[in-house]
Amino acid sequence: MSQPEQSWKRVHDKLQQVLQQYQSLQKDHDRLQKELKEHKLRDAAQAKQIGELENKVAALRMATGQLTDEDKKDLEKRLHQYIREIDRCIAMLSE
């Protein structure tokens, strides 16, 4: 084989290696993207569950009368937010 042919063969072989590495990395990337999506979905579900449980705990504290001063302030704040939201909805309906 002549010198130029050997050089081209080496370049071709290196190019094949790079393409194989690229394909392997692409598969890893796809797998990691899928895992990331699954983790985000699980995280969102857990965050929702945490919020629901916090609401239940607050409701139980209120029902049993075991509210701290901070809990009372939070409850008042929430109630005022709900009232404002209701007033806003009523105003929109009356237009």
More confident residue, 53 or 71: 53
Query: Is pLDDT of 67 > 80?
Result: no
* Mean per-residue pLDDT, 59-80: 83
pLDDT value of position 95? 81
Q: Apex CA 58: angle with CA 61 and CA 52, to 5°?
A: 140
Q: Which amino acid is at 56?
A: K
Q: Apex CA 86: angle with CA 85 and CA 90, to 5°?
A: 120
